Amino acid sequence: MSEVNIIKDVSLIIPCQNAEKKLLQLLRSIQNWEAIPNEIIIIDSSSEKFLLPEDLKLFTERLNIKSLVIYGDNLYPGHARNIGVVNATNSTLAFLDTSTHPNKRWLSSGLNLMHANNSQGVWGYTYYQADYYMPKIIRACTFGARPIKTFPGSILGKNVFDRCGLFIESTRAGEDGDWMSRVDFHKITLSTQQEFLNYDELNYATIKKLLKKWFRNYSFSGKLLHRRSQKDFYFYIISFVAVLTAYNWNRVVASYQEESIYFIPYITRASVLAFVVIYIVLRGIVIPRKKGVNFRFIFPINFILISFVSLLIDLTKVLAFSFSRFIKKSK
């Protein structure tokens, strides 16, 4: 590394829980960045304490980079980030997760955008990598093939937290979406990052792991992302009511009189078929296409599997949402 550009007013905050190898990979990549923060804060809540290896100690000491490892017990991501925000000594904060991999221009590009636009920060963007068939199916059902806005990868002025507050600490998932909605509520304009992070965990995902994760996340985040959860919940409730209405339509409205203008032949089967067709078109074709999934991947038959996996995910979310509501009421 011939020239090292140390940014004196940037703190990099990284939560870590039982992901030492990924953390080390991320930390070692910092040496090749175009711009390097002068403070790195690791919030470690692993079962075994993370110790900075000798090569990274020498790297940070040689460049006078402050490295701080703060230990905690079973911290949720929001709690860990809050600890990082509170302990950061700089006015600009950059955030990464151990599963996100930035390129060497990520930090320099984001800082340049902040200065050029005179903005209070930039949102992170993450590309969800999928190299195999089933991960591509899962990606088509969830994140899509385009980079999407995420909190990891964001670079923010510390004063943004003064206005929006810190993360909710009591939930395992959804705290980032909750905080991002508060930024919108306070009408804080952030720039759009041009360099995105790469997330490769989908390559190791299975349907079972995916559904388990979705249930866990929506069980925790139901109280935070209630509008999105209710949207899914009400979709299925309305669909159930529509089918129930169709089943009883001819009996209640037309009194089973075929000559009645209100009598609809085969209404139950037609209603169920219409629901299935609409769902397949939306979840198997329209939504994946809007998320950048290649037309050739969707057809000729993958849209069927995409629809089926999407249905499993949607039902899991509804169950998780209902479960979280039940637990909340029972307390």
Following DSSP, what letter does each residue of 285-318 receive, concatenated? IIHHHHTT--HHHHTTTHHHHHHHHHHHHHHHHH
Q: Which whole-number Å values give the CA distances from 110 to 19, 190, 266, in the listed order? A: 26, 11, 59
> Buried b / exposed e across 283-298, counting CB within 10 Å, b at 16+?
bbbebbbebebeeebb
Residue 163 tokens, joined? 């206005």
What pTM value is reported for the model?
0.84
Nearest to 197 by CA among 140, 144, 153: 153
Quote the pLDDT of residue 227: 47
- Torsion-angle region of residue 292: left (phi > 0), alpha (psi -120 to 50) or beta? left
Q: For the chain, how big is the Rg over CA atoms in Å?
A: 24
In one-letter notation, the amino acid at residue 34 is E
Question: Which residues are bridge partners to 44 per DSSP?
Answer: 16, 71
| Cα–Cα distance, 10 to 38 (Å, whole number) | 6
Q: Which whole-number Å values give the CA distances from 89 to 28, 98, 103, 138, in the listed order? A: 22, 22, 25, 40
Q: Give the torsion through C-alpha atoms of 71, 90, 168, 198, to 10 deg.
A: -80
| Cα–Cα distance, 317 to 76 (Å, whole number) | 20
Q: Which whole-number Å values give the CA distances from 315 to 94, 307, 321, 322, in the listed order? A: 36, 12, 10, 10
Quote the pLDDT of residue 252: 59
Q: How is the chain split into domains, by residue range? A: 6-204, 226-330
Question: Which residues are bridge partners to 94 per DSSP?
Answer: 12, 155
In one-letter notation, the amino acid at residue 90 is N
* CATH class of this structure's domain 6-204: alpha beta
The predicted-structure confidence for 158-167, as pLDDT tens digits, reads as follows 999 999 999 9
pLDDT in tens, the chain (331 residues): 446 788 889 999 999 999 999 999 999 999 999 999 999 999 999 888 888 899 899 999 999 999 999 999 889 999 999 999 999 999 999 999 999 999 999 999 999 999 999 999 999 999 999 999 999 999 999 999 999 999 999 999 999 999 999 999 988 888 898 999 999 999 998 998 889 999 999 999 899 999 998 888 877 765 564 445 555 555 556 666 666 666 666 565 666 566 666 656 665 666 677 788 989 999 999 999 999 999 999 999 999 999 999 999 988 887 887 776 665 555 5
- Fill in the DSSP letter of residue 321: H
| Cα–Cα distance, 147 to 145 (Å, whole number) | 7
